[in-house]
Amino acid sequence: MSEPRALGRCFYRDRLPPGQARRFYDELDRRLAGGDYRAEVPLTLEERERSYDDAFAACKALRHDRPEYFFLGRQMTFLYRGGQEGKLRLQMLYTPAEIETLQAAFRQKMLPLMAGTADKSLVQREELIYSRLARQLRYQNTRSEQEHNLVGPMLASRGVCEGQNALLLYCLRRAGVTCVQVLGKGRTEGHCWAMVWLNGEPVHCDVTWEKPGKGAMLYRYFNLTDEQISRDHSGFAGQGLPACRTEAYSYYRLHGHSACSLAELTGHLRSGAAQGGMAYGQMQPPCTDAQMGRAIHEALRGLPGCWNIYHVASLRAVALMKQAGR
C-alpha cells in the first residue's frame, strides 16, 4: 500500500465506496473547511435507498480523518424530503462563536508544541512532537465530550485515547508527517492510536500508553512494528492498513542504542551513564532477563550515585536514569 495522500487526511474517505458516500463526505468537508458550521446540510440524492447508510458512513469517516473538526459530534439525523432531496442534521458540539474562540486558543497552544520543528528532518519532527505530548498529556475519563476531541488534550492536557491521538495527528500533520487513526483494542478495551509514515515506511505510535516513569521516557510505543504492538494491541488487522515491518525508526535504532551482543549493550549503557542523566540500550538478538541484568550490573559498576532501572521487556530494551542528588 502506498503512503496515503494529503498527509492521511483522506484515508477513511478513500475507503468509502465510490459514488454517493464520497460525494456526501466531500460536501461536508467543503462546508466545514470553509467555516460553514450550520447543523443542517442539504444533500442531493443519487441512490435514495442507500442515502442513510452513505450519510452515516461519510460522517463517521470525516470524524476519523479530521481531528480539526473537533466540533462534530457522533450523532446525525438524515431526513428524506422527497424526490432527490435530503437533509443531514449534524450534531454540533459548539456554537460558531465558540468554535472560533477555541480555534484561536488552539493557535496559541500550538506554538510551544511546534517550536523548533521547522529546521529538523521528518523523523526528528515526529520524535520531538511525540516526546512533548507523551510528557504533557494525562489520561482522564469523566465522560466529557471534550476528552474525546482536541479540546481537552489541547487546552487542559487531559483526555482519553481518542482525544490524545487526535492531538498527535493534528500536530504531526502540521509538521508535514503523514499519519492516520488506527482503530482496535488495547488489551480488552476499545482503543485507538496512530499509524505514521516515515520516508514511505509505516509504523505504529501510541502516545496514550507512553507514560514516562518518574520522568524517564522509555519509548515503549514509539514507531513499532505490527509484531511489537500486537503484544497488547489487537483488532487492527483486516482494516486495509499496510503491514508495519521496519524497526529502523525505533528510538533505540535512531540514536545508536541498539546492540548485537551483551558486551556491546554494556558499552552503550556504560557510555550513556558515564555522561550522566539517561542511558539507553537495546538487544537485537533475544536474551534472558538474567543476561540483561548482568549487562546492567557491568555498566553501572564503579559509577557514583544511585540509578533507577527501567526494563522494557517487549523491546528487549533498558533505560537507566540517575537519581537527582544521589
Q: Which residues of 62-92 are buried (b: 16+ CB within 10 A; e: fewer)?
A: bbbbbbbbbbbbeebebeeeeeeebebebeb
Nearest in space to 116 (alpha carbons), one of 132, 128, 134 = 128
Residue ranges per structural domain of the chain: 10-92, 96-252, 256-322
**Band of pLDDT at residue 275, cut at 50, 70 and 90:** confident
- pLDDT above 80: residue 217: yes
Q: What is the mean pLDDT of residues 312-318?
A: 90
pLDDT value at residue 303: 85
Of the two residues 233 and 302, the one the predictor is more confident about is: 233
pLDDT value at residue 213: 66
Residues 6+ apart with CB under 8 A from 1: 240, 241, 242
Nearest in space to 192 (alpha carbons), one of 41, 64, 322 = 64
pLDDT value at residue 276: 73
**Cα(215)–Cα(321) distance, integer angstroms:** 9
Q: What is the mean pLDDT of residues 185-206?
A: 97
**Band of pLDDT at residue 238, cut at 50, 70 and 90:** confident
Q: What is the mean pLDDT of residues 171-198?
A: 97
Beta bridge partners of 234: 185
Q: Tell me: the pLDDT tens digits for 151-178?
A: 999 999 999 999 999 999 999 999 999 9
CATH topology for the 96-252 domain:
C8orf32 fold (3.10.620)
Mean pLDDT, all residues of the chain: 94
Torsion of CA 298, 301, 304, 310, to 10 degrees: 30
- pLDDT above 70: residue 259: yes
- pLDDT above 90: residue 286: no
pLDDT value at residue 80: 85
* Crossing angle for the helix pair 289-300 and 262-274, to the nearest 10 degrees: 40
pLDDT value at residue 212: 79
pLDDT value at residue 325: 67
* Crossing angle for the helix pair 51-65 and 20-33, to the nearest 10 degrees: 50
**Cα(27)–Cα(18) distance, integer angstroms:** 14
- pLDDT above 80: residue 65: yes
- pLDDT above 80: residue 277: no
CB 292 within 8 A of CB 266: no
- pLDDT above 70: residue 220: yes
215: left (phi over 0), alpha (psi -120 to 50) or beta: left
**Cα(79)–Cα(315) distance, integer angstroms:** 52
Each as own residue / partner, the long-range contacts of residues 147-155 (CB below 8 Å, 24 or more positions apart, any chain) are: 149/67, 149/70, 149/71, 149/93, 150/67, 150/68, 150/70, 150/106, 151/70, 151/102, 154/105, 154/106, 154/109, 155/102, 155/105, 155/106, 155/109
pLDDT value at residue 214: 67
Q: What is the mean pLDDT of residues 15-32?
A: 97
**Band of pLDDT at residue 179, cut at 50, 70 and 90:** very high
Alpha helices in 51-121 (DSSP H): 51-65, 96-114
**Is the pTM above the cut of 0.85?**
yes
Lowest mean pLDDT of 57-61, 176-180, 235-239, name the range.
235-239
In the chain the beta strands, taken as DSSP E runs, fall at 40-44, 72-82, 85-92, 138-139, 158-159, 178-186, 189-198, 201-205, 222-224, 233-234, 258-259, 278-283, 307-312, 317-322
Q: Tell me: the pLDDT tens digits for 66-117?
A: 999 999 999 999 988 788 899 999 999 999 999 999 999 999 999 999 999 9
